[in-house]
Amino acid sequence: MVNTGVISTAAAALLCALPAVHAGLYPKSSAVLSINGKDYDRMIAQSNHTSIVEFYAPWCGHCKNLQPAYEKAAKSLAGLAKVAAVNCDEESNKAFCGGFGVQGFPTLKIIKPGSKPGKPIVEDYNGPRTAKGIVDAVVDKIPNLVKRVADKDLESFLADANDTAKAILFTDKGKTSATLKAIAIDFKGSIKVAQIRNTEKASIELFGITEFPTLILLPGGEAAEGIVYDGELKKDGMVKFLTQAAEPNPDPPAAKAKSSKSKTNKKSSAKAKESFEAASESHAKSEKPVTQTDETLENQPTESPSPEVETENPIVLPPAPAIPILTSETDLKKNCLGPKTGTCILALLPDTSNEITGLASTSLAEVSHKHHLHQRKLFPFYILQVENPGFSQVKEALGLKGDAEIIALNGRRNWYRALSSKGDSLVSEDVTIEAIENWVDAIRLGEGEKKKIPEGLIPEEVEETVVEEAAPEPEPKAADEPMIVIEELPEDWEPPTPEPEIKHGEL
């Protein structure tokens, strides 16, 4: 007879004797890519697509809380950008995580292609730990290779590299979608992707476009005719349609031959690993211990990469400059509320420590900075706080009821437009970078309803009174003076000798 109780006890003891194994948070079936130091260069750094990478540890409670939102974000960004994760608790990944300066978990970094292949730009993500917040931030960082074509540009666009295939999306939207941006990246170098607005009448008539959106493919060459896409405007179908002209770029690109690592790289990796282990140990001590029942063990052995990982020093971008604050009523009238002022964005923020106002300030700064980096001409952004007397004047005159308000106004043309909210006051979804940028783009394109500024808010232009100066009285003419004629004397002239006085004798 077999004593099952003894066997069960022995098995349990054996399991307890095994070293602790931390399984990753994201299985192979997850939409999140699980990568290590070896994968990073080929799958992320060499890619033409934008990525977001989470550096985590399985025992980290905040990482577990983020997991559902991160999974959801990965599904939403499928085909548009890459969502990856690195288990920094793995021995082979510690040097890699240390090379990115990871000091706590979870750490999120957005990685977008740089000007040189394999030299991406790395930015810290400090936004909301929600699926929407992550998606909005990543979409904002997708490179835009789509060319906007107007009627005046169409001829030159079609003539440029005529043998190269071109794809044109005719749309009634002002902003380029993330899907079209991703398609332009997929076909970078083989198909030129453009977008034409429904307001470009000559282009619409030339191609016979009757509904929006419409995608056409020009295969290239003089005799080639345009092909109209009649499927659903989803990325997979659109990519398949465009493969008639060219194949999309492979992603990740083909692996390159390995290069030998120098002693310097080995020392650098060892130092990064040592620094990371110290930070990780400190973080782990502050976390609540995770019991064995909290972890799911998965029998998914993977190839063990070399712990000596050569990493590129990440390029960390400085934060966007803060939006200037109008501290006085004079500044407000000079920059936004003058009879000759142009369009300006005015954020009425009563308390900058508030979550909504803080997010609004950050989003406005990012949008303004983005346009500045691209050297696009954009109207100025200002913050108006409650300490400025003009704060209450603007709110009362325009009937603004929310705690925080963002408006665009033009003193010269006497109109204003408020950022719409989903409730009585602005919420976080109203002031994301994407929401602010869409609103600003609509204003730039002249879209949306504008309201007239009530009388009294914009001071009337004061005409300067020109005082005519009295003509100066003519000075009295001096009396005619007698003309003095000076005669020249001869050189041998001598004064006449006086005659002697003759004295007469007395009688």
109 pLDDT above the threshold of 70 = yes
pLDDT single digits (tens) 248-267: 999 877 655 555 444 445 55
> What pLDDT does residue 281 have?
58
Contact 210, 111 (CB under 8 A): no
State the CB neighbour count (10 A cutoff) for residue 342: 14
Q: In which band, very low, low, confident or very high, does the pLDDT at 434 lie, cut at 50, 70 and 90?
A: confident
Tell me whether residue 62 is exposed, middle or buried, using C-beta atoms within 10 angstroms of its C-beta: 0 to 12, 13 to 18, 19 or more.
middle
Beta bridge partners of 121: 112, 315
Q: Which of 297-301, 319-323, 443-447 has the lowest mean pLDDT?
A: 297-301
> What pLDDT does residue 502 have?
47
146 pLDDT above the threshold of 80 = yes
Q: How far apart (Å, rounded) are the C-alpha atoms in residues 506 and 430?
A: 137
205 pLDDT above the threshold of 70 = yes
2 pLDDT above the threshold of 80 = no
> What pLDDT does residue 257 have?
52
64 — phi, psi (to 5°)?
-65, -35
171 pLDDT above the threshold of 90 = yes
Q: What angle do CA 164, 168, 173 make, to 5 degrees?
A: 155
Tell me whether residue 329 is exposed, middle or buried, using C-beta atoms within 10 angstroms of its C-beta: 0 to 12, 13 to 18, 19 or more.
middle
Q: Which of 346-355, 442-451, 454-463 has the lowest mean pLDDT?
A: 346-355
Domains and CATH numbers, the chain: 21-141+257-294 (3.40.30.10), 147-242 (3.40.30.10), 329-452 (3.40.30.10)
> What pLDDT does residue 23 have?
67
Rg (CA), the chain: 39
477 pLDDT above the threshold of 90 = no
pLDDT single digits (tens) 56-106: 999 999 999 999 999 999 999 999 999 999 999 999 999 999 999 998 999
Query: What average pLDDT does the segment 258-278 reach?
Result: 52
Beta bridge partners of 214: 170
Average per-residue pLDDT in the chain?
80
User: Who has greater pLDDT, 351 or 295?
Assistant: 351
Q: Which of 315-324, 362-371, 483-492 has the lowest mean pLDDT?
A: 483-492
Strand ranges for 220-326 from DSSP E: 227-228, 315-316
Q: What angle do CA 9, 10, 14 make, to 5 degrees?
A: 120
Q: What angle do CA 44, 49, 55 make, to 5 degrees?
A: 40
Q: Which residues, other chains included, contact 312 with Cβ-Cβ below 8 Å and sequence gap of 6+?
A: 41, 45, 118, 119, 120
Contact 50, 112 (CB under 8 A): yes
Say what the pTM is: 0.55
Nearest to 187 by CA among 240, 150, 260, 225: 240
Q: How far apart (Å, rounded) are the C-alpha atoms in residues 481 and 30?
A: 114
Token look-up 């990753």 returns 24
Q: Which of 20-24, 140-144, 307-311, 332-336 has the lowest mean pLDDT?
A: 307-311
